């Protein structure tokens, strides 16, 4: 009988391997096992009948029945708990992945800022934030292609910008808000923390002023670079203040010289203006220094066919007058004649003493200020000796200042070196 059952199972296995249908109902259940489940349904456990003694031996005497094991039931969810999840440590992100994550986060922040500005009714500000978020598309595409991206020039979203009322401003605080050195802190440690805080605040102020200067000149890349410096320095300042409150030892730090290339520009002047300031007279050589009344007349050499003129107010009873007179002359940077005028001509200043009822105004002296220096500089500020018509000094000086938005020929680029505090660690 066992041979027949084994033959049936062998035939069923061959059919199953060949892909043929198998009738599981015709297969007898092995002793001690439940019927084979069909179609994913689990059959209930069935008690197996005792094995026949005739098939197991040749002895004719009755053999004691074997105690059957209960048929194992189908596995349930409670029978075997699921293995706990493996603690797989995430692999560190590569440089490109970190760069991509930062670009995506900045773009999302600008989009959120645009939505918030739109809700507040600031439509122009919302458009600006949206344009800046669109600018990240090219940077993200470049990162995907493996191209380098200058992360120091990224625009900073408003969520990460330092508030306008920063710690660099003066404000009234109560005694409870003051940071007191913890007990046991030596005087030297407190002085070190105070010096670190002062230097970091000075760096933030310098970066903020330079950022606004570049923003006014339209140099967005340099403005973003100094915005990043502000954020990094502000984090160092917060860390130093927190360490001081905890009573920790001062952090490791060092100073280094950092050089910045700054384009000098008078951003408060239009590109088509030349501002002339008559500031003051210095020790005019007159017979009645405490009774003399003076004024200054200025003549600008452009345009050459009709030079414009202007005059200051009359300052009375002093030979050290404070005029503080400002006049703005129009220029055309596209004109070739303008370049020749600034190369060869000068602004003419005439100092007059005011006459009485029966006397005319008298020329005390004149000053000619060459404009050639403004080819490469945007500001000319100096005092000049008074001369007569024969170019002889008559005594006294006149202080003037001439300003352009940008120099006539090339931009004025200056290299500024700052002593920079770097926090190495705590």
At residue 411 the predicted structure's pLDDT band, cuts being 50, 70 and 90, is confident
CB contact at 8 A, 313 and 323: yes
Residue 381 tokens, joined = 């500020």
Burial 303-316 (b: 16+ CB within 10 A, else e): beeeeeebebeebe
Q: How far apart are CA 367 and CA 85, in angstroms?
A: 89
* Cα Rg of the chain (Å, integer): 45
Q: How far apart are CA 243 and CA 200, in angstroms?
A: 15
Nearest alpha carbon to residue 275 among 285, 283, 263, 267: 267
pLDDT per position as a tens digit, 131-189:
888 888 888 888 887 777 777 777 777 777 655 444 443 333 344 444 444 444 556 88
pLDDT, residue 2, reads 67
Domain range summary for the chain, segments of one domain joined by +: 1-30, 95-153, 161-169+180-263+418-426, 273-404
φ and ψ at residue 418, rounded to 5 degrees? -120, 145
CB 27 within 8 A of CB 9: yes
Q: What are phi and psi of 190, to 5 degrees?
A: -65, -40
Residue in the structure block whose two tokens are 């938005």: 405
In this prediction, residue 123 has a pLDDT band, given cuts at 50, 70 and 90, of confident
The superfamily CATH assigns to domain 273-404 is C2 domain (2.60.40.150)
Per-residue burial over 373-391, b = 16 or more CB atoms within 10 Å of its CB, e = otherwise: ebeebbbbeeebebeeeee
Contact present, 237 and 253 (Cβ < 8 Å): no
DSSP state, 375?
Answer: G
The pLDDT of residue 51: 40
Residues with Cβ within 8 Å of residue 281, at least 6 apart in sequence:
294, 296, 315, 319, 320, 321, 323, 351, 396, 397, 398, 399
Q: What is the pLDDT of residues 10-43, one digit of tens each?
A: 888 888 888 788 777 777 777 666 677 665 444 4
334-379-202 Cα angle (round to 5): 125
Q: What is the pLDDT of residue 89?
A: 52
């Amino acid at each position: 009988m066992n041979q027949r059952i084994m033959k049936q199972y062998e035939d069923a296995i061959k059919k199953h391997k060949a892909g043929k249908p198998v009738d599981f109902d015709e297969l007898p259940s092995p002793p001690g096992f439940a019927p084979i489940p069909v179609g994913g349904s689990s059959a209930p456990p069935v008690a197996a009948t005792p094995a026949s003694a005739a098939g197991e031996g040749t002895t004719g005497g009755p053999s004691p029945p074997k105690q059957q094991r209960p048929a194992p039931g189908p596995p349930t969810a409670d029978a075997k708990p699921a293995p706990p999840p493996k603690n797989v440590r995430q692999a560190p992100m590569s440089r490109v992945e970190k760069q991509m994550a930062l670009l995506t986060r900045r773009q999302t922040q600008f989009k959120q800022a645009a939505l918030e500005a739109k809700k507040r009714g600031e439509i122009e500000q919302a458009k600006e934030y949206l344009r800046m978020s669109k600018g990240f598309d090219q940077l993200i595409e470049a990162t995907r292609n493996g191209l380098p991206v200058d992360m120091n020039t990224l625009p900073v979203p408003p969520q990460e910008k330092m508030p306008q009322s920063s710690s660099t401003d003066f404000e009234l605080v109560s005694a409870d808000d003051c940071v007191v050195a913890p007990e046991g802190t030596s005087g030297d440690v407190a002085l070190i923390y105070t010096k670190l805080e002062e230097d970091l605040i000075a760096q933030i102020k310098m970066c903020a002023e330079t950022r606004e200067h570049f923003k006014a000149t339209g140099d967005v890349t340099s403005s973003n670079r100094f915005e990043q410096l502000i954020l990094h320095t502000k984090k160092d300042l917060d860390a130093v203040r927190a360490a001081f409150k905890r009573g920790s030892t001062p952090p490791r730090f060092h100073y280094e010289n950092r050089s910045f290339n700054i384009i000098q520009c008078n951003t408060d002047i239009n590109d088509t203006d030349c501002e002339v300031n008559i500031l003051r007279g210095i020790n005019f050589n007159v017979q009645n220094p405490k009774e003399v009344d003076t004024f200054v007349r200025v003549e600008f050499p452009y345009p050459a066919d009709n030079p414009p003129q202007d005059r200051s107010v009359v300052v009375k009873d002093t030979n050290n007058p404070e005029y503080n007179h400002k006049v703005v002359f129009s220029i055309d940077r596209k004109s070739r004649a303008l370049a020749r005028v600034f190369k060869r001509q000068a602004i003419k200043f005439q100092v007059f003493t005011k006459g009485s009822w029966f006397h005319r105004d008298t020329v005390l002296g004149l000053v000619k200020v060459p404009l050639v220096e403004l080819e490469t500089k945007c500001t000319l500020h100096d005092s000049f000796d008074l001369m007569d018509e024969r170019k002889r000094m008559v005594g006294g000086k006149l202080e003037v200042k001439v300003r352009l938005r940008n120099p006539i020929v090339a931009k004025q680029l200056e290299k500024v070196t700052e002593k920079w505090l770097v926090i190495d660690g705590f």
